[in-house]
Structure 1
């Protein structure tokens, strides 16, 4: 049930995490992405009528989430966990314990997101107005007017006055198309845009080039690429094994060292259950490797692929020298 919950809830955070790992600038999408992430997550356990009363980030920050939560059985937990809960074979005490944990986890995570996410950040909200699709709205003009004060080191005093004229002209002019999937920095870097709105373009380029760096990526990659198609070496079975071990150690109230510690390493009895489990795990792992190897071999046979023996550096060098010498002899022979 726990794994089913993880598999269903984690993808909600996936798109938001990937925003920090793209090569193209996406700071203009960060405000809306935070609002969407928070609302989507609240929809898992908070009543919809309460969420709909908040339309801005500031209102979402002030919501009293603890007083508006659904009943545990109404909370989102994924189809896999829901099937186990509805199954007659699942013990009642297990369902009760799981629902209690789900409720506590949602409340704790929701409180953390409400405190940590910059839902009412003025700078991120103003930057969102740089998106070409926001042209022609009164709110866009209001947000663009705030940018010089929020990024005071970009424009000079003379340029600030011209900037005010630029954003008003920008609101009413015809602009190049911005197709879906285009890079916003390339759009603002077009010669047509730079010449028509020099100060606005300067501000846009400065803001869109905000550096987030590898440290931000690494800190946000803790939960990234764990249980979806972009995964590395960690699959569902490995992740489940890690969670089971952590759960067992936490239930015992001991660390791994304390759990397996012996008073006398020479004379204490061997834990036969532990030895048997280790042997079984190794045999299962070996069987999996053998199965993968046999599948790969079968594919090679079907595709008529012959395994080639690897050459040493010395042998490869000798072959290259012989080939070069042969080419030179043939070349001289052709000239003569």
Structure 2
């Protein structure tokens, strides 16, 4: 796609290119050599050409990671570039392979390509590779594939910005990045269950129903972690102030007040002197 020549000879004819149902009916109802229709079709062709050139320059079609990720598709085994793509993927995805797995992953890839007894394809690629991992036939390869499937992608990227927009405001400007990550993780967990927080932790009787002990422990641990982090941050700030030998703010405020007082007294003396000179 990166090397396709976007020229008129590679385009569909004006009669076959996509125009939309209503537009096509309108074009067909016009005379064949109508000047307005011909001008419109020329602009459509020019628009398709400009769009194609823009997409070639804008889209990461030659990105090594994205091209290698295409090898995760079960149907990719039928293509000649499968071996190269999957080997490249094994070298760039941090799957934490052991030395033994690094030695045998290349052999697994070749054996995997020729395997005719693989399970039936599923709707989701990550689920299919999960089945491969459970089989135990390709431990190193499946570990790399599942690590690649965990890459953050899809329309959820845009929704994450909307989620952060709901959280961020002038009052939360000092919120740590770790807190944002934690909120995002919780929201994705609840959304994957197709439920809400109130439904997930609902108690039929809020007085007598047993509480979720794990949730209570997590809340207490989160509070302790936050207090320790806040204490460490204050300690680091005090060390930084002491290192820079910055004086206490209260001392600075008192000096500022003394300076203003002296200025006021000087102005008062000046006015009295001016009045005395005027009387003389």
The TM-score with structure 1 as length reference comes to 0.39
User: Greater RCO between the two (CA within 8 Å, min separation 6)?
Assistant: 1
Structure with higher Rg: it is 2
